[in-house]
A and B are shown apart, each in its own frame.
Chain A
Amino acid sequence: EVQLVESGGGLVQPGRSLRLSCAASGFTFDDYAVHWVRQAPGKGLEWVSGISLNSGSTGYADSVKGRFTISRDNAKNSLYLQMNSLRAEDTALYYCAKATSLLSVFDLWGRGTLVTVSS
């Protein structure tokens, strides 16, 4: 089955760090770009970051630039998001999604992992 499974979410205090993971299965992971998209409770979708299939290109939303770092390990079929200096406004359900390239539609999404930033 083709799927993406996120993990690593939880409750964290403001200013602290958290690392999210996304495990891919059922497809050739290194043939695809992958993204992180988040959704605050009751809100819409916000693109967070994306990475090309060979890690040569990355992009970040202005809201997370300088605080979040995206990476991938193709040997482990995994995507990561290192989140530093977390703020209350980073509280959201974080999804990973795959795309054929960085100029392609997000054709499959995981079910998300919840990050709550609160003291």
Chain B
Amino acid sequence: EIVLTQSPGTLSLSPGERATLSCRASQSVSSSYLAWYQQKPGQAPRLLIYDASSRATGIPGRFSGSGSGTDFTLTISRLEPEDFAVYFCQHYGGSPYSFGQGTKLEI
């Protein structure tokens, strides 16, 4: 089973700043199977990035994903007020599908 470890646990930034979130896998992951989701309180997760670097439909260009092997990054270039939420990475290359523990992005 692939274990995903996200860092930091909490990231405190201000609107307009750049956010960099990390996801590290316990073993090499095909980039084709790495996703990022955003979750706001009381809401279901929303897909942001798939295949490590492809933006999902309707996701603003300030969100970008990168990485390969065991190290992946989600970058939000200029934070908007609505971006403050919890972010999860996920490996979806087959059962069991693993999630990172999440990074809380707070103002």
Residue of B50, B94, B98, B101 near A105 (CB, 8 A) is B50
Nearest residue, chain A, Cβ from B6: A44
* Residue B47 at the chain A interface, CB threshold 8 Å: yes
User: How many pairs of A and B residues are in contact by the CB < 8 Å rule?
Assistant: 59
Interface of A is mostly: strand
Residue of A35, A59, A110 near B44 (CB, 8 A) is A110
Residue of A47, A107, A111 near B97 (CB, 8 A) is A47
Contact (Cβ within 8 A) A109 B45: yes
Nearest residue, chain A, Cβ from B50: A105
Contact (Cβ within 8 A) A107 B45: no
Contact with B along A57-78 (1 / 0, CB 8 A): 0011110000000000000000
Nearest residue, chain B, Cβ from A107: B47
Contact (Cβ within 8 A) B88 A50: no
Chain B interface residues toward A at CB < 8 A: 33, 35, 37, 43-47, 50-51, 56, 88, 90, 92-102
